[in-house]
Amino acid sequence: MKHPFVFTTKKNLSAIDMRTVRPRNEGRNFFHFLMTRLMLIYLFLFFISSSAVSQSYQETETGVVVHCNSMQVEIQFFSNSIVRVIKWPEGTNFKKESLSVVKSPESISLDISSENDLISLQSDDLTVNLNTNNGQVSFYKNNGKALLKEKNDGAVFVEIDDAGVKSYSVSQTFGLETDEPIYGLGFQQQGRMIQRNLEMNMIQNNTESFVPFFQSVKGYGLFWDNYSPTIFSDSTEATSFNSEVGDCIDYYFMYGGNADGVVAEMRELTGQVPMFPLWTYGYWQSKERYKSQEETVGIVRKYRDLGVPLDGIIQDWQYWGSNYLWNAMEFLDVEFPDPQRFVNEVHELNAHMIITIWSSFGPKTKQYRELDAGGMLMNISTWPESGSQLWPPRLDYPSGVRVYDAYHPEARDIYWKYLNEGLFSLGIDGWWMDSTEPDHFNWQPEDFDFNTYLGSFRRVRNAYPLMTVGGVYKNQRAVTSDKRVFILTRSAFAGQQRYGANTWTGDVVASWNALRNQISAGLNFSLSGIPHWNSDIGGFFLWEYPARLDDPDYRELYARWIQFGAFCPMMRSHGAEAPREIFQFGSKGEPVYDAIEKFINLRYLLLPYIYSTSWDVTANQSSFMRALVMDFANDPKVLDIDNQYMFGKSILVCPVTEPMYTTNGREDFSTVKSSEVYLPKGTDWIDFWTGEKHSGGQTIKKQSPIDIMPLYIKAGSILPVGPKVQYATEKKWDNLEIRIYPGANGKFTLYEDEKDNYNYEEGYYSTITFYWDDANSTLTIDDRKGSFPGMLNERHFNVVKVEKGKNTGMVPMVIDRKVFYNGGKIEVKL
């Protein structure tokens, strides 16, 4: 029940009506009339004076601003389910334009009321309460369910000198439920799924990309919008973000109902995911490094000769020559004498090339001279430190390499100008943006005092990858819409999903533990709203394997890592100290070679499924790699599983993350070993390799020879399978196999477009939706929606109902029905 003296913004009425009081009887005692008026005025003034301190607030277009506890607090509703909270010390002013947030506040109906010391703001989805005594903010569902509360007096401002500018270190503490799982925070290498009971120093580095965002199993997410080095701390008592510098506390609360919903809200806030070209989902080969154009082209030619599929080759560093010419964005090394022929030869082999570019420049480059003249180079120690290419580095010959100020719009344009002239004009297909953290060695406090375009480096440190990657994306989009932007980057920040970027997990050291750690790293990164990521298949450094490829344990590890890589958003082999091409692991007929080839081929068979999943990511804010909590939140056993996941919404992937066939330095494949797999409850599961059906909610053992990674298909799934090819676009999808996994009703939408331009943004694409009615064993292929140039107007679908012993694994299926389809709705009875 509300207090009788309550103001609401919708009605804007006082409890006391101050209209003129007119006596009924003209002869009434005037003194009585006067006393009545004075009493009413007294009551009104009493109400105003008593409520001014506890209930006074200023209404804004999006919420309220309140002065309380020596600070200003503003609540802004960006939508019915996204709320921004800003706090700043009284008597200060600031202007902030978010680097991550692109959404503008919507116009929504908001009910604002106050009672005693509490101001309540209610949208269609959320209720936000603000305590005017201490500034505490609490979030609720409109049904009264508590979601998240700040701690009493949880906002802290400590005045600091930030490179000569008065500012604050800022922190905010929240109270989570003791057993409340949370996920996200970017990716790290700790092998953790649930991000509780830890302290994390969030500053971008080679193998860790921090995103100050987490989401809860309760269906909400929280984005801490600060770019300075930040400590995230969590215990059973409190959860906090503490940032080195900020003019204000600034965070966004969002409610999505479940993990997919929270990811959708985060992308609504910070940007949607553009489509990647189809070829980026094929297989990619790389190493540190191919030293001539003949070597690089020769690798592509070797794959073609072997008949092993390949879509991309990556040219790593030093094609520019000496370290003094670092990142010149031109082929200046004598081993690359004809760059145009180099690129053309790769393309003539029906492959694509991406090339490494960095965030820094050597002192003899054109870029360095132009940026330096404009004061757009930073003074931090970075890679390479030596002008000599000898190892270890000769520091008595400093390289003079400097990082550019990516926060400066003119610097980003200069960066692109040289990239466009030197490489894009040759037909290079994409960019491997290395060291986008950027590399920062031998930190000194004064390093962070450097005055970037947006203030001290300290203030904007963690957003560097967002700015440099965004600069390339925006500039390429301005040049052409005929080629989709594709960027492989070593670091990321909130919002980077909007820039056509696939982040890899850095230079990890090869080990079985490292392989397992990539799974939880990628899943938490995906739960942070950024869906495209990958790891160096096989690990970058081989420090634990001095025998390199002669070590049987490493060969087994590589085979298992490539199996995992086949079910990541990008499948890319790369590393130092030993080459990683398939022919380095033997020849056809040998166990490790055959296992590698098998999973590369499987990746290509699944391209129609993968590309349709890519569309689901773009159009419906879905995720490629799905932590089990996303689809089975009601199964408590999946909440902390860190070594299994869903790839798309149909395939349960269970990577093998321990050695089985190597003992005392010897390989032995004679006895088949088994892996333990947990099948989430709530559905049946069909073994991809055997067709055997299992009930969910149990742990089973699956035989896992070196060429088998446990894969299970969710009952009711419809899986489109493509033709056997050597590269992604070799053959048309005019005879797709449509696999039905019975046991539940199902739905799948097949997406198709021109494969590599932005015409889809104008509606040039098609979708065909398949429905499976399990009770009636009927597949309905719906009317095709949409069209695009080059679309297949007529085709066949080879419909297969998967059954144990009949249709299994990768072998050609026994077709149940061959269906002719010309775009009209048809039903297929099986």
DSSP 617-663: HHHH---SEE-HHHH-TT-GGGTT--S-EEETTTEEE----S-SSEE
**In the chain, pLDDT over 90 holds for what percent of residues?**
90
What is the arithmetic mean of pLDDT over 624-640?
Answer: 98
Task: Check whether 52 has a pLDDT greater than 90.
Answer: no
For the chain, give every residue range classified as CATH 2.60.40.1180. 662-829
Question: What count of residues does the chain have?
Answer: 830
Task: Check whether 19 has a pLDDT greater than 60.
Answer: no
Q: Which two tokens stand for residue 528?
A: 């942070």
Task: Check whether 358 has a pLDDT greater than 50.
Answer: yes
Q: How confident is the model at residue 830 (pLDDT cuts 50, 70, 90)?
A: very high
**In the chain, pLDDT over 70 holds for what percent of residues?**
93
Q: Give the pLDDT of residue 1.
A: 31
What is the arithmetic mean of pLDDT over 502-524?
Answer: 98
Task: Check whether 391 has a pLDDT greater than 90.
Answer: no
What is the arithmetic mean of pLDDT over 577-586?
Answer: 98
Query: pLDDT digit string (tens) for 294-339?
Result: 999 999 999 999 999 999 999 999 999 999 999 999 999 999 999 9
CB 620, CB 494: distance < 8 Å: no
- For the domain made up of 662-829, the CATH class stated in words is mainly beta
Task: Check whether 6 has a pLDDT greater than 70.
Answer: no
Torsion sign across C-alpha atoms 503, 507, 510, 513: negative
> Catalytic residue at 594?
no
> Catalytic residue at 162?
no
The CA angle 184-189-194, to the nearest 5 degrees, is 40
Query: pLDDT digit string (tens) for 172-203?
Result: 999 999 999 999 999 999 999 999 999 999 99
The CA angle 728-733-737, to the nearest 5 degrees, is 110
Amino acid at 449: D
> Catalytic residue at 507?
yes
What is the arithmetic mean of pLDDT over 393-405?
Answer: 96
Burial class (CB in 10 A: 0-12, 13-18, 19+), 294: middle
Q: How confident is the model at residue 36 (pLDDT cuts 50, 70, 90)?
A: very low
d(CA 224, CA 199): 16
Q: Which of 563, 552, 564 is nearest to 661 (CA)?
A: 552
d(CA 19, CA 149): 42
Of the residues 162, 265, 437, 536, which is catalytic?
437
What is the arithmetic mean of pLDDT over 475-489?
Answer: 98
Query: pLDDT digit string (tens) for 666-712?
Result: 999 999 999 999 999 999 999 999 999 999 999 999 999 999 999 99
The CB-based long-range contact list for 27-33 (8 Å cut-off, 24+ gap) reads none
For the chain, give every residue range classified as CATH 2.60.40.1760. 58-218+220-255
Of the residues 125, 265, 405, 434, which is catalytic?
434
d(CA 248, CA 514): 38
Q: What is this structure's pTM?
A: 0.93
Task: Check whether 48 has a pLDDT greater than 70.
Answer: no
Q: Give the pLDDT of residue 759.
A: 98
d(CA 336, CA 326): 15
What is the arithmetic mean of pLDDT over 514-539?
Answer: 98
User: What is the CATH code for 278-358+409-443+452-622?
Assistant: 3.20.20.80
d(CA 248, CA 261): 28
Q: Give the pLDDT of residue 812.
A: 67
Given phi > 0 = left and psi -120 to 50 = alpha, else beta, which region is 391?
beta
Q: Give the pLDDT of residue 805.
A: 82
Task: Check whether 800 has a pLDDT greater than 70.
Answer: yes
Query: pLDDT digit string (tens) for 287-298?
Result: 999 999 999 999
Of the residues 111, 447, 507, 581, which is catalytic?
507
- Please name every residue paired with 773 in a beta bridge, in sequence order, or none if there are none: 778
CB 169, CB 244: distance < 8 Å: yes
CB 722, CB 736: distance < 8 Å: yes
Q: Give the pLDDT of residue 30.
A: 38
For the chain, give every residue range classified as CATH 3.20.20.80. 278-358+409-443+452-622
- The single-letter DSSP state of residue 509 is B
User: What is the CATH code for 58-218+220-255?
Assistant: 2.60.40.1760
d(CA 18, CA 21): 8
Helix (H, G, I), strand (E, B) or coil at 259: helix
H/E segment holding residue 678? strand 674-679
Helix (H, G, I), strand (E, B) or coil at 629: helix
Q: How confident is the model at residue 25 (pLDDT cuts 50, 70, 90)?
A: very low
Q: Give the pLDDT of residue 8.
A: 32
- The single-letter DSSP state of residue 710 is -
Task: Check whether 624 has a pLDDT greater than 50.
Answer: yes
Q: How confident is the model at residue 55 (pLDDT cuts 50, 70, 90)?
A: very low
Task: Check whether 91 has a pLDDT greater than 50.
Answer: yes
